[in-house]
Structure 1
Amino acid sequence: MIVPLTGPDGSVGTSIANAAKLALLDTREQSIRVQVYDSNRTGGAAAATQQAIADGNRLILGPLLAEDVRAAAPVARSAGIPVIAFSNDEGVAGDGVYIMGVTPDQSISRVVAYARSKGANSFGGLVPTGLYGQRAAQSLIESVRRSGGRVNSIESYDRTPAAIGDAARRLNAKGPVDAVLIGDATRTAAIAAPTLKVGGHKLGTELWATDRTIGKTAALRGAWFSATPDTQFDRLVTRYRARYGKTPYRLASLGYDAMLLAVRSAPNWPIGRAFPAKTLIDKDGFAGVDGNFRFGRDGAAERLLEVRQVTAAGSSVVSPAATAF
């Protein structure tokens, strides 16, 4: 497992690694050993991958960040070792790399479909400049088109309060719509929401799912966003606290579920042999802490997501995740 153990994301990486170890304990699988390497070591994720391979590892879980996946993937690929990364960047998936993260495309498609089912026909969007904003905008356009709606306008902004407010006012000037996607984290959404006057409903992305204090912003109450189900994660939190004496980060579930994949493959993975990567492609998918998912041929995890509505207390489920593909 390659995750940040030091630096600004060190506590997140440690949480992911601890959850993976907990999965081994919970399943009582004796044939698998996990070794954890710091992606922030000297030489970065590439050096960590080289060390992991030299130590005899046959499967890489991680890294967390897309740039680290880009560094690690060629090293692992040259050794014929698959990578199950924790990124949500579809650009790093494929050719032996599988990503566990919820992608913007899946998240936006799910919440747009729900909004359409509730009568929304016209959509607007606020997205940041940069790669994530570009992908969010494209996802909005494509998902609305597939569902038979229309996109009136999408405005972009640099991440400063003034620029966010200006983008919201530009969107207001384009006329009313039934729903507006704020394709950014909740901190940005909290700045934009009070200024937006054109949308009947505000929509969020997967970035909203980790903020359980989102309801503190009154202007976001009633907004919809999609997320992985929390039921099994809440149970993981209880076991994690009992084992490690602290609460895990929400992304810890990715480490737990990645280890479950390895355990599921254990019967077809003789000790000392290559990991059977073909076991990762199953049309019926896998059940994990984050609900059901399966890997497509492109290496990205397709997830069954629920839709939540922001409330004063946080959020509540308004459309449960499907139970099967």
Structure 2
Amino acid sequence: MAETAIERQANAASRRKMLRTMGTLAMAGLLAACQVVPKSNGPATPPPPDRPADDIGPGLPTDTDRHRVALLVPETGPNADVGTAIANATTMALLDSRTEKVRITTYDTALGAAAAARQAVADGNKLILGPLLSEDVAAVAPIARAAKVPVLSFSNDSSVAGNGVFIMGFVPGQSVERVVAYARGKGHVRFGALVPKNVYGDRSAAAFRTAVTEAGGTLVAVESYDRSATALSGAARRLASGGAMDAVLIADSGGTAIRAVPLIKSSGNKQILGTELWNTEASLGSNAAMRGAWFASVSDGLYGQLAGKYRTRFGKAPYRLASLGYDSVLLTVRIARDWKPGTSFPASRLLAADGFGGIDGIFRFNNRGIALRALEVSEVGAGGFRVVDPAPTKW
């Protein structure tokens, strides 16, 4: 197997101390759309990184044989476990692809995303993978743009995409559109929705309204709630009494759906619809009221294989977002075949009409830089999930 190269960033002691005063960034906003796989308590055993000494000067030695690619993720702070899982997955992708053309250096965004981006550019990286949070993307984008370095982010916030920034995260609107179209195809006509009062809920509601109209359905009602049991119950009861409907979307976690569904069905049986948030909650079927519900998400078939290999190598289960790190490397390796080391990354190739494939299935970027994904529809059953409409395998 070809030897791969992973470097870890080591800042000078004075700069490290200064950046720590900036504090760590909390996981918030759209990242709530991405659930995690429960982790084991076993120790992680990543291969030792090639870490430069603290007294190294700005910039890294010129590498004429490999492409310099920066990985911007949180390695410290409250989101360190997610960032580490993504970084570990990029290591696995490099090993699995057996590439000799790509060199990845990891930079800790918890010490300041803008500072990490400036260092990545100074070190000669021609492509940035990450960052994770939308606010970090906003901080990194102008720095990368000025240096003509494209950003391939793991965010699912479509508002930060464009002008050199591409997002690979699972955009909630796509899941909503897919499951509504499937439900309409199965004869459901009158739709309602229950959504939280946050960014995820707002965007899910907007996508829902559009999806119902485009599918030729009738929008009956959309009810929203804040994060209290009383507010959720009130919204569910209002929805149940708000008019005849035969399908209801719950744009929240499976746990929230379990509490709301009995109230929604109190005025008559309805087809329950969910989003990609449910794809890691296989125990939903243990609740009888949830059985028969449909939701759309990326396929978990290949992810299951990745998770097994990850456990073997690192001693614990990965976060579900780790697949984004893996797929970002596969994409980079594909483009690197015809990319001359030391030259600018050919960002136009990210817009290839045939798209790319990876752990999460096929995807392609639209002209706004948003990853459009092929999604499957699953049904909740007593023994887990059953795919009722597979994801397309080609565009």
Find out whether 1:158 has 2:222 as its counterpart. no
The answer for the alignment partner of 1:53 in structure 2 is 121
**Which of these residues, 133, 136, 139, is aligned with residue 65 of structure 1?**
133
The answer for the alignment partner of 1:86 in structure 2 is 154
In percent, how many aligned pairs have the same letter? 54
**Which structure 1 residue ranges, 5 or more long, are not aligned?**
none
The answer for the alignment partner of 1:298 in structure 2 is 368
How far apart in 2 are the matches of 1:65 and 1:188?
24
How far apart in 1 are the matches of 2:287 and 2:143?
45
1:235-258 CA-partner distances (Å, limit 9, x unpaired): 112222222222111111100000
TM-score normalized by the length of structure 1: 0.96
The answer for the alignment partner of 1:146 in structure 2 is 214
Q: Offset at 1:186?
A: 2.0
> Partner amino acid for 2:261?
A
1:268–1:276 CA contact under 8 A, matched in 2: no
1:234-287 CA-partner distances (Å, limit 9, x unpaired): 111222222222211111110000001110111222111111111111111111
Does 184-193 or 279-288 show the bigger shift? Answer: 184-193
The answer for the alignment partner of 1:124 in structure 2 is 192
Q: Offset at 1:297?
A: 0.4
TM-score normalized by the length of structure 2: 0.79
The answer for the alignment partner of 1:273 in structure 2 is 343
**Which of these residues, 195, 203, 206, is aligned with residue 263 of structure 2?**
195
The answer for the alignment partner of 2:164 in structure 1 is 96
Kindly name which structure, 1 or 2, has the bigger radius of gyration based on alpha carbons: 2
1:124–1:180 CA contact under 8 A, matched in 2: yes
How far apart in 2 are the matches of 1:277 and 1:186?
38
Find out whether 1:108 has 2:160 as its counterpart. no
Q: Offset at 1:312?
A: 2.4
**Which of these residues, 378, 385, 390, is aligned with residue 308 of structure 1?**
378
> Partner amino acid for 1:176?
A
**Which structure 2 residue ranges, 5 or more long, are not aligned?**
1-70
How far apart in 2 are the matches of 1:293 and 1:227?
13
> Partner amino acid for 1:322?
P
How far apart in 2 are the matches of 1:236 and 1:87?
21
Does 248-257 or 191-200 show the bigger shift? Answer: 191-200
Q: Offset at 1:217?
A: 3.3
1:24–1:259 CA contact under 8 A, matched in 2: yes
SS at match of 1:102: coil
How far apart in 1 are the matches of 2:260 and 2:138?
33
1:272-314 CA-partner distances (Å, limit 9, x unpaired): 1111111111111111100010000010001110001112233
- Count of aligned positions: 323
Does 204-213 or 15-24 show the bigger shift? Answer: 204-213
> Partner amino acid for 2:127?
L
SS at match of 1:34: strand
- Measured on the aligned residues, the alpha-carbon RMSD in Å equals 1.3
1:162-201 CA-partner distances (Å, limit 9, x unpaired): 1001000011111231110111122322221222125511
Q: Offset at 1:9?
A: 2.0
**Which of these residues, 18, 27, 30, is aligned with residue 100 of structure 2?**
30
The answer for the alignment partner of 2:66 in structure 1 is none
**Which of these residues, 170, 192, 202, is aligned with residue 134 of structure 1?**
202
> Partner amino acid for 1:28?
R
1:164–1:192 CA contact under 8 A, matched in 2: yes
